[in-house]
Amino acid sequence: MSDNKTLKGGEFLVKETLASDVFIPEEFDEEQKMMAQSCRDFTETQVLPNIDKLEHHDNELLAKLIKDAGELGLLGISIPEEYDGFGQKFVTSMLTVEEMGKGFSYAVAYSAHTGIGTLPILYFGTDAQKQKYLPKLASGDFIGAYCLTEPEAGSDANSGKTKAIPTEDGKSYTLNGTKMWITNGGIADLLIVFAKINDDKNLSAFIVERASDGITIGAEEDKMGIRGSSTVQVFFDNVKVPAENLLGERDGGFKIALYILNLGRIKLAGASIGASKATIDVSVQYANERKQFGTAIANFGAIKHKLAEMVIRTFVDESLTYRASQNIDDAIDAYIADGMVKGRASIEGLRQYAIEASIAKVFGSEVLDFVVDEAVQIHGGMGYSAETLVERAYRDSRINRIFEGTNEINRMVIVGELLKRGMKGELDLLGPAKAVAGELMGIPDFGSTSTDYFEAKHKMIVNFKKTILMVAGAALQKFTTSFQNEQEIMINIADMLMNTYGAESTLLRVEKLSGLYDDKKLAIYKDILDVMIYDTAARINKSGVDAVNAFAEGDEQAGMLMGMKRFTKAAPVNVVAARRRIADQLIGANKYNF
């Protein structure tokens, strides 16, 4: 990849990023904002008024709403113009996903179609496959679905039993098997199906038209949440698939699945931002209207604390997700500049930021779960009633920690992929880890702390990174090749990485805003940053100490615990006053406006 100012995936741990080198949502241009507005208008006028009907499995209506979105061009944001799409950048597609994320379970159907139901063909399809299917997927004439999971193959997707047997003349495959939890399965016209050819070790992928003989669609699953999306089992009984519908290379389907999972993970993070903002809007509006003890409940400190924390976490989620999204775009452009074709460049761009995609997925899904839980609490008894939007938001949110690889699997991916890149020499982890170990043996730096606001915050982020290098380096040295079996410690390290990436992304965003806003307008963003980094220091300390206590003893343990204390030291912050100021701005605007 050509040299550019963007760090490689995972490199944030060992290198500093300049604020000027990150993208922040405040930089979206007018064309991008217009696309977002189109999505917002569609969600508000077409989707939300029909949510109750969708929740009762009105699949005819669901299919119509997907096709209506296609007529407005909302399905073709990422599809190149030669296939009747808009050919927009990845970060633009993320903005539209955010807006659609406000549409509850419809957002799941939309994201499944435009993401995992369409992009495998765009990224891995032949020219003929693209010409045949992408225009129909862009217009909504075809609705897409992705068939990977099986009754006995969930997280271990490559253990799937679905078989594709080549016919003697080599002109087609005979497909047999069962797929489950298939989003859009009840309305789909086109299925991306993963199966093993003969006794191959790895999966292959196929484009299968729903109209093919031998396909049976099961009943709609009765789910806890996202009831307005279609989720079914799909049965394949001697289904004939033309040989030209093999997607990508034989035995290459598992790689396709992994690449598309990276895509699905960060897209889910985008949708979580929209859902969080919409839930905050509903919550503050209720808090301003609901009166108890002679005043609006928004005036109570306990409610202000909740509202402010919902804002802070959502702001961090947004900061890290759009930072990573632009990194993906930059990587794609760099690969293209090196002569790589666009489809391949897109695949490699997503692969390059697999760590950040998993961070965004886990962080975003857990932020949304926090936000909807607090929303129900703010609504009190009404929040438990199916009459309110927050009850639906609460149910719908829960699946996101399971979708696109469970959050536990993704935490393993974050740490495992980072270490793998270190072993391969793609990232220099050893040098920085040794430097931190040496620093622990030396005399602590008791020099005066910086009086520059952003410089002091950057020093804290550097120290957070030192805790990760210290713990991960010592754990790897202790367990060597068996480290992958120490899942609890890997989860601790993953949490430290996520919190650090979120803290740094927010710092860089606020620092960049300091060049756009005056001190008065910037003050509220400094409040968000102050509270978030102060709290992050405590979270990282807890995760790090738990990890150290799990494997270290004696002097090594004492030295690392002292290091944890030193590297997570945070200056005092009046978090009560800061949260009240954040809440007051939200309450005054009566909507999320950060």
User: Left if phi > 0, otherwise alpha if psi is -120 to 50, otherwise beta: which for 35?
Assistant: alpha
Strand partners, 183: 231
- The active-site residue, picked from 404, 486, 504, 511, is 404
Residue 278 phi, psi dihedral angles, 5° rounding = -65, -40
Strand partners, 194: 205
Active site residue 404: yes
Neighbours of 445 (CB within 10 A): 7
Residue 385 phi, psi dihedral angles, 5° rounding = -90, 140
| Residue tagged 């919550």 (tokens) | 283
Provide CB contacts within 8 A for 33, sequence distance 6+: none
Provide CB contacts within 8 A for 208, sequence distance 6+: 147, 175, 190, 191, 192, 193, 215, 236, 239, 241, 245
Cα gap 532→506, rounded to integer Å = 9
Length of the chain equals 594
Residue type present at position 161 = K
Strand partners, 193: 147, 206
Three state DSSP letters for 335-350: HHHCCCCHHHHHHHHH
Residue type present at position 280 = I
Strand partners, 562: none
State the catalytic residues: 404
